[in-house]
Structure 1
């Protein structure tokens, strides 16, 4: 799968800059749309375009403005994990998880002051068991220690590690809001760092995804594996369509 992705990236670099930008914009829109839809927030194409297109007219509609800010912060988080994934020597620690959350919620302060949740949310989308607030610090550290353990990397594939880290983080549910987004962003950081494409869980898989969180991590690993396969298939189809039109390819 890594080789397949590496070949796709090589083919992408040989396309014209306009196509590469269109591909990246389309990927980010799809990523943000599906990831937010898993949380129950369904953005329209107009909202996504208004938030992500720098040439789009400035949004004056006060009802859309907060949504555009959410989308922009989400995209900023995507850029952060891509950038971090390229820095192979940077340590993966708790601050990385907090930083992802703070990009989504800059009003929460900084790395030193950001707080984990203090209670068990009563109205929620996720219905698996949550860690008690007094155990969150310990359990988040436990997840990071497991990810960084040489034995983990020696005995498990990148996909299994990323899927399990995401599963475990979501069962801790460290933040009062957007723990799901944080866990999936952290998972994709691990995948990107390992040479894989992102696993974008499709919104149509929402119920299955929630059920997996109440079940075993093996089911979650399967969902993540399928999401990566779907991503690769989409890029291959896109490139084949582009190349079949006879566009000039750089050599």
Structure 2
């Protein structure tokens, strides 16, 4: 990427906004939000909704947009990962939609499990605090030792396996993963919510949690990251070509 001339400030702003809209749409859709990408973009750009749009879906869109902006602010300030950062991200994610508003950013006191998998519950409530302590300790060591994409994928997987909050764990996990990727200079990764991609993503998460083998999930995130890098390089290459073509026409 460094071999190409950088995009203009305006181009960067447009691409960053498009990436944010896609993240808000895709991450919410994975959790069951019914808005499509164009409806999500309209809400965030103009504040307008189509007739019959569920209020909850709109509020989730506004919440995750705020959480994304907060995540990017953390990156700009080079904020290290901490439990306070994680709690604050979850507070943003669930600010207007939590079933219990007092529960936002607070570790759960009840047992939870994936749908239909009561025999494989997430971390017991009494073990959440030490598990989160261990996560931060692991992060402090792993961030400088693992490849950035592997670190981001493992951070996501380990956090979801704990499932510390009553709501918003998946959206918080994807923000944490992208915070790690962006801090390392990698593009944002947006997991696609179509049936095939969502199933592969959720299956790899659960398989890695039960078996302890993170490879399937790491592979999915690595593939997404590689695709995002290739798309960024193609954009830079096209921009360079457009600049050269314009310069040649001007010289004639």
TM-score by length of 1: 0.80
- Determine whether 1:11 maps to 2:6: yes
1:139 CA drift (Å): 0.8
- Determine whether 1:118 maps to 2:115: no
Q: Is the 8 A contact 2:149 2:225 kept in 1?
A: no
Give the alignment partner of residue 189 of structure 1, picking from 179, 197, 205: 179
Name which of structure 1's ranges 169-178 and 127-136 shifts more when overlaid on structure 2: 127-136
Change (3 A) 1:83 1:210: same
Which runs of structure 2 are paired with 1:1-251 in the superposition (5 Å)?
4=1, 11-12=6-7, 15=8, 17=10, 19-53=11-45, 56=46, 58-59=48-49, 61=51, 63-88=53-78, 90-106=79-95, 108-109=101-102, 114-121=105-112, 124=115, 129-149=121-141, 152-203=142-193, 204-213=196-205, 214-215=207-208, 216-242=213-239, 244-245=241-242
Whole-angstrom CA distance in 2 between matches of 1:80 and 1:154: 24
Change (3 A) 1:47 1:126: farther
Deviations 1:29-67 (CA, angstroms, capped at 9, x unpaired): 2222222232232422342123210xx364485744432
Deviations 1:173-215 (CA, angstroms, capped at 9, x unpaired): 1111120111111111111112222222222421111121223
Secondary structure, counterpart of 1:137 in structure 2: helix
Whole-angstrom CA distance in 2 between matches of 1:16 and 1:191: 21
Q: Is the 8 A contact 2:122 2:162 kept in 1?
A: yes
Counterpart for residue 250 of structure 2: none
How large is the RMSD of aligned CA atoms in angstroms?
A: 2.9
Whole-angstrom CA distance in 2 between matches of 1:169 and 1:153: 15
Q: Is the 8 A contact 2:26 2:190 kept in 1?
A: yes
1:102 CA drift (Å): 0.3
Identify unmatched segments of 5+ residues in structure 2. 248-252
1:96 CA drift (Å): 0.6
1:126 CA drift (Å): 7.9
Change (3 A) 1:118 1:52: same
Whole-angstrom CA distance in 2 between matches of 1:126 and 1:198: 31
Q: Is the 8 A contact 2:28 2:61 kept in 1?
A: no
Identify the structure with bigger relative contact order (alpha carbons < 8 Å, sequence gap 6+).
1
1:7 CA drift (Å): 5.8
Change (3 A) 1:199 1:36: same
Whole-angstrom CA distance in 1 between matches of 2:36 and 2:131: 36
Count of paired positions: 234
**Larger CA Rg, structure 1 vs 2:** 2
